[in-house]
Amino acid sequence: MTTVVQKFGGTSVGDVTKIKRVAEKIKKRMDEGKKVVTVVSAMGKSTDKLVELANDITDSPDPREMDMLLTTGEQVTISLVVMALKELGVDAVSLTGWQAGIETEDVHQDARITDINTENLEAHLNDGKAVLVAGFQGVSENGDITTLGRGGSDTTAVALAAALNAETCSIFTDVTGVYTADPRYVKNARQLDSISYDEMLELANLGAGVLHPRAVEFAKNYQVSLVVRSSMEEVEGTIVEEEASMEQNLIVRGLAFEDGLTKITIERLPNQFDTMSTLFSLLAEEGINVDMIIQQNTSDHALNVSCTINTSELGKAIDLLHDNKATLCYSLIRHESSLAKVSIVGSGMVSNPGVAADMFKVLGDEEIELKMVSTSEIAVSAVVPDEYMVKAAESLHAYFGLDANEKAKIEAVKEIV
């Protein structure tokens, strides 16, 4: 008997009607003769509501207590789905993260899974039960409840699929699959049949919200066959796999974008071996996530350093830099907010030079100012003023042949080749 793992996100279990629908879907898989493990998120926006409750009490909630609070959301869902299954005559059981044997590092709010002991879970499966597992949670070595970072239920599902050697891991969500770009912004975006782990990982890290990056990393490491599909419509989803078929020789597979970025420039730091490590260690210790970094030597041997951070962390970063002015010995800090990052991603870039040049030409023709750029093997990112984010994305989407409109697509392919 094969095991399948499926995950339903918050919107897919947003109310009682939807929960009943999920139970029906589980029953259907059981009737097909599968062992079914289902991971669910908290209902709708309930995790956000729990965060708000904590913030109404304190600006700096204790991380351990925050995990205790946030894990309750998923527990509501697992029990309700089991009740709905029992109403359908299906034997089922709900398990919290620790009951499902999900062990994590001893870190709160963003713990990594270290091991999964599937004994209990498998015993229930062998008894013929549908098993419901609370997503996004685990237990640390010393018995504390931990969470896997916002959006972490995807990771729970993929990790369980790996540990149980499941046939597939289906991520049911409120979109029908992975798109070439977020269709809420780019109207010509279209759904992909397949995408490689590496491309999906880049897109997820660069701001495409459809899958949690750590889940994709897990899927790649354990070669989990992953499908993203709609919980509302019976349509084919997108397969995430090792080698996605190269559709029409397109070099770019998809685009990701995110706003809310700020560029900080620290001018005239001393040009010493430890300058960069001191500066970035300070930011890291304060938990400030830094993205792109540019280091420049001035003609008189000082250093200018620019980096991007989330605008929400600007106050914290500026305070930190001011407090450490004597240690860092810089002359001036400048910052520019209201920025966005637009990225193109595709495995085809590895063997095709000139993709970055094309991207800059497209943005230049649209008179969109480039604030910073960075590249990886299969991605190029540009930081632009946020008011141009969607325009940049739409122009790049069309140029690189991704538009839903076939004619435009073929024209653009001709131009690239």
Alpha carbons within 13 angstroms on the beta-carbon side of residue 197 total: 17
* 135 near ligand ASP (CB under 6 A): yes
| Residues of this chain that bind Mg ion (CB under 5 A) | 9, 151
* Shortest reach from residue 24's CB to ligand ASP, in Å: 21
Q: How far apart are CA 393 and CA 125, in angstroms?
A: 46
Q: Is 160 exposed, middle or buried (0-12, 13-18, 19+ CB in 10 A)?
A: buried
* Shortest reach from residue 139's CB to ligand ASP, in Å: 16
CB closer to Mg ion out of 19 and 171: 171
Q: How far apart are CA 204 and CA 221, in angstroms?
A: 16
* 10 near ligand ASP (CB under 6 A): yes
CB closer to Mg ion out of 73 and 151: 151
* Shortest reach from residue 41's CB to Mg ion, in Å: 7
User: What amino acid is encoded at 218 in this protein?
Assistant: F
Which of 275, 321, 328 lies closest to 297 in space, CA to CA? 275
Partner interacting with residue 213 (select from ligand ASP, Mg ion, none; CB below 5-8 Å by kind): none
Which whole-number Å values give the CA distances from 337 to 7, 130, 292, in the listed order?
37, 49, 14
CB closer to Mg ion out of 213 and 254: 213
Partner interacting with residue 152 (select from Mg ion, ligand ASP, none; CB below 5-8 Å by kind): ligand ASP
Q: How far apart are CA 394 and CA 385, in angstroms?
A: 15
CB closer to ligand ASP out of 152 and 348: 152
Residues numbered 139-178 forming contacts with ligand ASP, rule: CB under 6 A? 150-153
Report the residue from 37, 38, 108, 136 that binds ligand ASP according to the rule CB under 6 A: 136
Partner interacting with residue 101 (select from Mg ion, ligand ASP, none; CB below 5-8 Å by kind): none
* Shortest reach from residue 170's CB to ligand ASP, in Å: 15
Residues numbered 225-254 forming contacts with ligand ASP, rule: CB under 6 A? none
CB closer to ligand ASP out of 157 and 349: 157
* Shortest reach from residue 403's CB to ligand ASP, in Å: 31
* 23 near ligand ASP (CB under 6 A): no
Which of 115, 113, 112, 110 lies closest to 63 in space, CA to CA? 110
Contact, 192 vs 253, CB < 8 A?
yes
Point out which residues pair with 5 in neighbouring strands: 37, 169
Partner interacting with residue 11 (select from ligand ASP, Mg ion, none; CB below 5-8 Å by kind): none
User: What amino acid is encoded at 147 in this protein?
Assistant: T
CB closer to ligand ASP out of 43 and 359: 43
Joined tokens for residue 79: 């029990």
* 207 near ligand ASP (CB under 6 A): no
CB closer to ligand ASP out of 21 and 190: 21
Joined tokens for residue 414: 């001709």
* 14 near ligand ASP (CB under 6 A): no
* Shortest reach from residue 10's CB to ligand ASP, in Å: 5
* Shortest reach from residue 109's CB to ligand ASP, in Å: 11
* Shortest reach from residue 10's CB to Mg ion, in Å: 7
* 42 near ligand ASP (CB under 6 A): yes
Contact, 173 vs 9, CB < 8 A?
yes
* Shortest reach from residue 146's CB to ligand ASP, in Å: 13
Which whole-number Å values give the CA distances from 216 to 42, 97, 157, 195, 257, in the listed order?
21, 20, 11, 11, 18
Partner interacting with residue 136 (select from ligand ASP, Mg ion, none; CB below 5-8 Å by kind): ligand ASP
Q: How far apart are CA 205 and CA 202, in angstroms?
A: 5
* 41 near ligand ASP (CB under 6 A): yes
Q: How far apart are CA 94 and CA 68, in angstroms?
A: 18
Residues numbered 47-66 forming contacts with ligand ASP, rule: CB under 6 A? 47
CB closer to Mg ion out of 44 and 151: 151
| Neighbour-count burial for 320-335, b at 16+ CB within 10 Å, e otherwise | bbeeeeeebebeeeeb
Q: How far apart are CA 345 and CA 377, in angstroms?
A: 9
Contact, 271 vs 303, CB < 8 A?
yes
Given the rule CB under 6 A, which residues bind ligand ASP?
9-10, 41-42, 47, 73, 135-136, 150-153
